[in-house]
Amino acid sequence: MINNYIKYFLAIIFFSISGLLIFDNIILKYYVNINQELYIPDLRGMYKNKAIKKLESLNLYVKVEEIPFTKESEVGKVLKMSPPPPMKIKSGRTIEISIPIDKKDILIPSFVNTSLRNSILLINNLDLAVDTIMYEHFSEFKKDAITFQSPKAGETVKSGTKITLMVSKGPPPDLFIVPDLINLSLSRAEILIIKSGLRLGKIEYEYHPQLLRKTVLDQSLTPGMSISIPAEIDLIISSDD
């Protein structure tokens, strides 16, 4: 009888100790972890897998959101977090991380003769980026118009690629712009020469019966060229005799 009491007493002690160990190592630990407060670490710029492991080690759940690539991001790296760091939260909370997906192939359009403002808007809408903007005087382009771009139109690049632009500052100051006189009548050519501030030079004739008489065939100065003095423009004119 006494032996039975002893066995019963020992069994009670054993199960009591076991229960305390289970409560202390499992239940209590779980309860403490669930209610533990912590600050969200800033994982922006960290690769996805590494960020997930870090959050899970803090007893946090992770939700991954894939987002389109932008010029401000890197593929496969955390761009945004919600809730944002360094907010204080309880463990067991779900953290959403935004990961940019692979870059897209983009066909470069032509920006030449487009205004700088519209070009920048189009570049941003295409998920590209503006790199360097250079300015230079151009007689053949309006002020603020794009005169050159790199990469060139028709090339295929990845989203986020940086575009270099050359912008016209308009004609150079105090310069004379050579007009395009080819295929004009001599009388019309003379008017344009006077308006440009230049002077009519020598006139030579070439026999071209298929053309209207006194049509400009060639000129001595290149159309669109800027010069600093009121130079003469020599002309070659068609003749039918």
Residue 91 has pLDDT above 70, yes or no: yes
**In this structure, which topology does domain 38-102 adopt according to CATH?**
Trypsin Inhibitor V; Chain A (3.30.10)
**Angle subtended at Cα 67 by Cα 62 and Cα 70, rounded to the nearest 5 degrees:** 130
Most confident of 87-91, 226-230, 232-236: 232-236
Q: Which helix (H) or strand (E) holds 117?
A: helix 116-125
* pLDDT winner (highest mean) among 64-73, 83-92, 106-115, 153-162: 106-115
Q: What tens digit of pLDDT does each residue of 58-78 get?
A: 999 999 988 877 666 788 899
Output the CA torsion sign for 39, 48, 105, 135: positive
pLDDT per residue as tens digits for the range 141-193: 999 999 999 999 999 998 888 999 999 988 876 788 899 999 999 999 999 99
pLDDT band at 5 (very low <50, low <70, confident <90, very high): low
Distance CA 95, CA 64 (A): 9
**Mean of pLDDT over the chain:** 85
Query: Domain 105-168, CATH 3.30.10.20 — does that match?
Result: yes
Mean pLDDT of 81-85: 91
**CATH code for 176-239?**
3.30.10.20
Specify the higher pLDDT residue, 118 or 170.
Answer: 118
**pLDDT category of residue 32 using cuts at 50, 70 and 90:** very low
Tell me, what's the pLDDT at 241? 77
Residue pair 167/135 in contact (Cβ under 8 Å)? The answer is yes
Quick one: pLDDT band at residue 96, thresholds 50, 70, 90? Answer: very high
Q: Report whether pLDDT(21) > 60.
A: no
Q: Take residue 87 and report the two structure tokens written for it.
A: 């907010």
Select the more confidently predicted residue: 16 or 184. 184
Which whole number is the average pLDDT over 126-146? Answer: 89
Asked whether the predicted pLDDT for residue 35 surpasses 50, the reply is yes
